[in-house]
Structure 1
């Protein structure tokens, strides 16, 4: 693929941990991505095989479940390598937890606050306004964010479904968002963004996840995700588009010297 083509269509590699946690709504934006189905036996790619950007999806296992998912050590190593190389990277839910661990942070399995499920409000912190991927979401949240990003009104409703939680960020990581239940809803570690929530999840996928959990009221989740569907779809699309813009910018920076 030529550099000019890659500026329009960055090469994205997606790591999928389970058949029930797909790209879902993100499939439209990442329609030509290389999807690595780890649960089906696909090997974890080397860093130089990841192209222009890396996305690590969620999964039902926890971030330390190497016996259940023997590919996890290689994923954590790849995430650390991606940050070291400046590769634009997005970790979602389990992907964010793996990113935190890869950077020397920590995750608590079955955290005491309990499962966070359905639609939750993510509260943005000031650095999120200038984040290359989250910035469009923050600005879209309204005038409260323009005046003071940490005012109570600067929130974005998102889909959540997790009971494990990041409790320590990598050294040097920037804390970007929190919820009433869990503090680390988003963080940036170098070229990588980790989000605990699910910007890719459609209402049907969120309800399927709820049906698989005994501690979740599926009817409540259904009501929440359908009521907020338009906003959830917009937020997810803004994030996906901004991530691809980050990948394009990285391609442009790498190819600029050769073009000069």
Structure 2
């Protein structure tokens, strides 16, 4: 499901509880891949959010204009499609600067792929490991348990899984929501691998204060159902181009596509306690890092 339309204006700021102390920038490459419920979780941490939508014509901010943190979301385009989406090249440069200056950042799906390329990794479109869509098990590395950013998120997610009766294989597996054809195939040398999956050897990693995730903590069972049903309809030949696909209503879906979407939604609903715990902890850890970054800037007159 897409969010209600908002003005495509980089200066649009959504204030959390009337406070505007700590500002983060969210780059949303495609309205079909919105900030989703991560918006709610960030707002609950008293962060102010500025949206940047490059496909709508918003110029990318400079490094000094990002505020106290950055979130880069996903999209259907490839990390290599600079010709069709010229903002990808400056975004790659921006992410390189984010890692170098240790600005707190979250990069999701396409964002993680562009971030990897920015600091020496490589991505493949499509991934040689195949497509992942729906719910998969995140296979945590040993480093995930001690990582200064990721370990707290993992601990909270594992506790939620135990409460919900979801197996974690002694805290080494977590269900996550995925939807991607491309993927990171070579981890940047400066990065720490935090998690893999059967179809994505590089699922989560950290470089500096940038946390990169191939999966989608911002997504929902309803959104996964919508995506899966329409991709199934596409594969069945029910539509012939992307514009038709975007305009396809639920009533126009073939029964096979409807069934595929419902199966994915049921899987995602079973994983909900863990997915929500992960997302809320991610927002909390990120907010703490952003506030610390802001205080450092203020104290050093940055």
The TM tier, using the shorter chain, reads: 0.7 to 0.9
Residues 71, 105 of structure 2: 8 Å contact kept: yes
Is 1:114 the counterpart of 2:157? The answer is: no
Residues 127, 185 of structure 2: 8 Å contact kept: no
Deviations 1:84-111 (A, max 9, x none): 1111111000000000000111001112
Give the one of 266, 285, 295 matched to 1:223.
Answer: 266
Match of residue 64 from structure 1: 80
Is 1:181 the counterpart of 2:193? The answer is: no
Query: TM-score when scaled to structure 2?
Result: 0.76
Displacement over 6 Å in runs of 4+: none
Residues 123, 152 of structure 1: 8 Å contact kept: no
Gaps of 5+ in 2: 1-18, 162-167, 236-256
* 3-state SS of paired residue (2:202): coil
Is 1:127 the counterpart of 2:143? The answer is: yes
Q: 1:72 to 1:257 in 2, by over 3 A?
A: closer
Residues 77, 102 of structure 1: 8 Å contact kept: yes
* 3-state SS of paired residue (1:213): helix
Is 1:162 the counterpart of 2:174? The answer is: no
Cα distance in 2 between the residues matched to 1:43 and 1:143: 40
Residues 142, 154 of structure 1: 8 Å contact kept: no
Gaps of 5+ in 1: 1-6, 145-149
Q: 1:136 to 1:8 in 2, by over 3 A?
A: farther
Match of residue 50 from structure 1: 66
Match of residue 241 from structure 2: none
Aligned residues: CA RMSD: 2.4
Give the one of 21, 25, 32 matched to 1:20.
Answer: 32
Shift of 1:8: 8.5
Residues 132, 242 of structure 1: 8 Å contact kept: no
Match of residue 4 from structure 1: none
Deviations 1:19-56 (A, max 9, x none): 11111011113343001011111011111110000100
Query: TM-score when scaled to structure 1?
Result: 0.88
Aligned residues: 248
Which segment is superposed worse, 61-70 or 202-211? 202-211
Which segment is superposed worse, 211-220 or 11-20? 211-220
Give the one of 65, 80, 105 matched to 2:96.
Answer: 80
Match of residue 147 from structure 1: none
Structure of larger gyration radius: 2
